[in-house]
Chains A and B, each alone.
Chain A
Amino acid sequence: MSVDSEPQAPQQAEQGDAGAAFGVTARLRLLIAERPILVLLVVLALLIALTGAIEPRYLSLRGLRNTLLLAAPMGIMAAGQTVLMLTRGIDLSVAMVATAAAYVVGFQAGAGVGTALLLGLLTGAALGAVNGIGVGVFRVHPLIMTLAMSSILLGLFSQWAQTVLLGATSVDPFVRLLGAGAFLGNLLPYNTLVWAGVAVVLIVGLRSSGLGRMIYALGDNPVATRLAGVREWQVLIVVYALSGFFAALAGVLIAGQTGAVDLRLAQEFLLPSIAAAVIGGTSLFGGMGSYSGTILGALILSVLNTMMVFLNAPQALRQVVFGGIVIALAWLYAAATRDR
């Protein structure tokens, strides 16, 4: 299935050379493999400094606040993606699920903001669970399942946006505060507070809960996990529902930031949600990675985004750069961790 099983005869010769000259490259390799967080922190610091050099005004508390403001929805969306990648899955429907949840919150505004938020998040989790049923029970390839889900949602909401959802584009003041407001003298955004909550739950949950261990086990070796008595499909439904839930949460925060809901609300967040997890060292092929890496990945992408805005780069160019980064980093990680 993967190229991993390819015979590596020619490769071994190269590695012999590298072993003989145990120098800077070999050490760097080890560092990336053993302490990815450290390397990512250095990269983040360098990027912040570089952005500051391009635009000195950025190196202020306001500038850093704006970085957090953008990183939070990215990071939350990437949370679902990280958990899925740990089980060898992926979710290409996050952008449309986020948009759907934002529409639901707007549509249910009359029922009170608490109920509306709850319904929005439940919608996300339910849509995710449908993805999970497709992948876990019916064995549909995750890419096809989530792409199809995205296409179905786009069709549904394109239609509803012109009919029943005409009045659902406005955003409740509380959601607006949550998405764009800040406290502590206007420095710490509320959405970062939400993100911090997600981060604590995920980091602790993945490390010490039974489900967390099952997620890693399933990605690392599905056959052994199945033989150990884990019901694969149940775990998959839960993780896809989680991904839908996080996407919905991110969608609400994005709507709070933009102030209005439309069909392309979260479209620009699809790539960063995957890229953040890949940058953070989570393998698309399961079992390896952590949410702390993804957090740094989201921060790095947010800083990069700000830098490119300062450089007047169009959105399309940012897309090209982010796509390139995903490939380059995946290559780097593969090279660093291969011969262990």
Chain B
Amino acid sequence: MTTATDERATSPATTPGARLQRWLRRHGWTIGVWLLLLAFILWYATLIPAFGEFQIASIARNSLPTVYLALAQSVVVIAGGIDLGIGALMVLANSASALLMEDQSFAMTLVIAVGVVLGAAFLNALVGLVIAVSEIPDVVVTLGMLFVYSGLALLVLPSPGGGTSPGLRFLFTGSETGVGTNYWMPILMLALPTALLAWWMTRSRRGLSLYAIGSDLGAAYLSGVSIRRAKVVSYAVAGGFAGLAGIALTTLANSGDPRFINALNALLASLAAVVLGGIVLGGGVGSVVGAVAAGIILFTLNPILTAMGIDPNTTQVVRGVLIVLVMMVAGLLEWRRRRAE
């Protein structure tokens, strides 16, 4: 439905103008979300007395966990699923990595980071396997995993604590202390995984098979896609990104925080980012690139509201209300689109 190949086959665009039009039609939502992000950042710049490298670095760095989690949720949702355990898996990765990395050398923390990402990918691959084999709905299994993962996080790290190495903090945040004006490092950490994932989703056979099973399970099966394998792959990739989000969190805070409420908030942010990013719950439609911008927007709300002199608790309320309002508009639009069809 949205894959590049079939449209190319049905509408051979010859003139550059037609090609541009088609490109705009296909990527309109994604471009819109990025423009919205630009507007938000410009708005933020007018709210504070001095906007510069420090603010850019802060936004890029602090939106890392939300963006990674949005990417994780995108992959699962595009493949027709939904992962309610993703926030809790991030918290588990955060807790485990903070515990293991405390007082370790840079090389050691790097090894642990890779191990945690692979471990999270493996755990979530098992979840995908259970869903694929049992054929029970994604919601049920991942809801159970929400509690399993967050219980495990509390078992690993009963109360907030742990740490990491300055080197790893630099790798993710561009600064060994977590504050600073180096913005190219966090932006690189935002852009590189996004580019790799976007390329993989739209240009590789396996990535396209995720779009296929999310768009039409029956058609995907008939055209030879291994549904089970695609399902497991989607959950494994999501798990890896959740692990990455957990490590980003560790490097940002220099500690781990196993509380359940973090898992719920992260889950809400990931779902909101996916829907705002133009990925339809139900699968097959959308681009991970849009979800990235939506993730940054969701984070940028915090400094904007703070700059407006609103305290953190009210910020949470305003954020929640805004998410609901956006979802209401998106829900109505989607409903009308479906009725029109």
Which are the 5 A-B pairs with shortest beta-carbon distances?
Answer: A155-B316, A319-B151, A323-B147, A316-B154, A152-B320
State whether B264 touches A151 (Cβ < 8 A). yes
Which residues from B are CB-within-8-Å of A143? 82, 84, 139, 271
List the one stretch of A46-54, A99-107, A134-142, A175-183 in contact with chain B: A134-142
Tell me which of B141, B147, B155, B217 contacts A5 (CB under 8 A): B217
How far does the Cβ of B257 sit from chain A's closest Cβ, in whole Å?
14
In the complex, chain B residues 225-271 whose Cβ is within 8 Å of any chain A Cβ: 227, 260-261, 264-265, 267-268, 271
Interface: A12 (CB within 8 A): no
The answer on a CB contact under 8 Å between A152 and B316 is yes
Closest B residue to A139 by beta carbon equals B331
The answer, yes or no, to whether B67 is at the interface (CB within 8 Å) is: no
Q: Is the C-beta of B130 less than 8 angstroms from some C-beta in chain A? A: yes
Q: Which residue of B lies closest to A324 (CB)?
A: B148
Q: Which partner residue on chain A sits nearest B329 by CB separation?
A: A138
Contacts of B5 in A (CB 8 A): none
Contact of B217 among A6, A90, A139, A152 (CB under 8 A): A6
**B328 to chain A: closest residue by CB:** A138
Q: Which one of B80, B143, B158, B317 contacts A152 once the chains associate, using CB atoms below 8 Å?
A: B317
10 contacts between A and B (CB under 8 A): A7-B218, A143-B84, A145-B327, A147-B267, A155-B313, A158-B313, A314-B158, A316-B154, A318-B151, A319-B147
Report whether B138 and A140 are in contact in the complex, using a CB–CB cutoff of 8 Å: no
Query: Cβ of B316 and Cβ of A271 under 8 Å apart?
Result: no
The verdict on B45 contacting chain A, using a C-beta distance below 8 Å, is: no
Bound CA span A147–B84, Å: 11
Q: Does B180 contact A (CB under 8 A)?
A: no
- Of A2, A139, A158, A324, which is within 8 A of B144 by CB? A324
The verdict on A214 contacting chain B, using a C-beta distance below 8 Å, is no
- The reply on B150 being an interface residue by CB < 8 A is yes
Task: Among B152, B260, B261, B331, point to the contact of A320 (Cβ < 8 A).
Answer: B152
**Closest residue to B84 on the A side, CB-wise?**
A143
A305 to chain B, nearest CB (A): 14
Q: Which residue of A lies closest to B272 (CB)?
A: A144
Q: How far is the CB of B312 from chain A (nearest CB, A)?
A: 8
A327–B267 CB distance below 8 A: no
CA distance A148 to B155 in the complex (A): 27
Complex: A274 Cα to B145 Cα, angstroms = 13
Binds B, one of A20-28, A250-258, A293-301, A330-338: A330-338
With A141-B327, A315-B154, A323-B147 as contacts: A334 and B316 at CB distance below 8 Å: no
Q: Which residue of B lies closest to A315 (CB)?
A: B154
Q: Which A-chain residue is minimally distant from B139 (CB atoms)?
A: A284
Q: Taking CB as reference atom, which chain B residue is nearest A320?
A: B151
